[in-house]
Amino acid sequence: QASSNEGDLVLDPFCGCGTAVHAAEKLNRRWIGIDITHLAISLIEKRLRDAFGPSCEFDVHGTPKDLASAFDLAKRDKYQFQYWAVSLVNANPSQDKKKGPDGGLDGVKYFYDIRGEAKKIVISVKGGENLKADDLRAINHVRETQNAEIGLLISLAKPTKTMRAEALKAGIYHGGPDGKRQYPKLQLLTIEGLLDGTERAEHPDFVPDVNFKKPKKEKRSRQKKIFDEE
């Protein structure tokens, strides 16, 4: 409000958590936000949609939109690929994630059970062109050691029928609104399926999201005049 007027274009070239673009959207400015990390961009997308709803329209450039661009990102920067892939299931990257061995844990997500208790989902991302049985065993080991109810393995490569059959042996989690719905404890998801909407993480999600602190619902404001016109 101090340095722009309605309809002006606001640029934040290091937009981080999105405070400036949020304010610009609320105050009827046009805006461009730039950040180097896919983690920041995915968080800002969620922030704007939670705050302004479907009426908030914006374009995102530089994130993968198809399988070819996903492969390209994985080859250029596997860590940014992991951040982006974790965002496809609306999860957080694992805490204190640093470059180097991650023990098979790339992301974490939570949900409430019917008793109101928070339960954990662990996520592993594989960006290679081949998927191995050891990758499946690794995420199941993480699920067990982390006391998580569900493990998600997100991959560029398609799992074999044998791997899918092996995943079912991990068992079923019973939950949902009535406590009786069934969710595989070990789920194999592909980037292609998540992008085209044919696959999704299966878990109870009938309660408010516990993974992100949501901003309050916003109504766009009209700027008041700073000085009265003579």
Q: Residue 211's pLDDT band (boundaries 50, 70, 90)?
A: low
In terms of phi and psi (left: phi > 0; alpha: psi -120 to 50; beta: otherwise), the region of 90 is left
pLDDT digits (tens, 9 = 90+) for 21-36: 999 999 999 999 999 8
Q: How far apart (Å, rounded) are the C-alpha atoms in residues 45 and 166? A: 36
Tally the residues of the chain: 230
Residue 42, judged by CB atoms within 10 A of its CB (0-12, 13-18, 19+), counts as buried
Please compute the mean of the pLDDT values over residues 66-72 and round it to a whole number: 93
If we measure between CA atoms, which residue out of 225, 217, 229 comes closest to residue 6?
Answer: 225
pLDDT digits (tens, 9 = 90+) for 176-203: 777 788 999 999 999 999 999 999 999 9
Q: Residue 100's pLDDT band (boundaries 50, 70, 90)?
A: very low
Q: Are 87 and 38 in contact (CB under 8 A)?
A: yes
| pLDDT of 104 higher than 90 | no
Provide the pLDDT for residue 208.
Answer: 46
Residue with tokens 């404001």: 221
Q: Residue 225's pLDDT band (boundaries 50, 70, 90)?
A: low
Q: How far apart are the first and last CA of the chain?
A: 21
Instruction: Please provide the average confidence, as pLDDT, over all residues in the chain.
Output: 87
Total-model pTM: 0.77
Q: Are 48 and 33 in contact (CB under 8 A)?
A: no
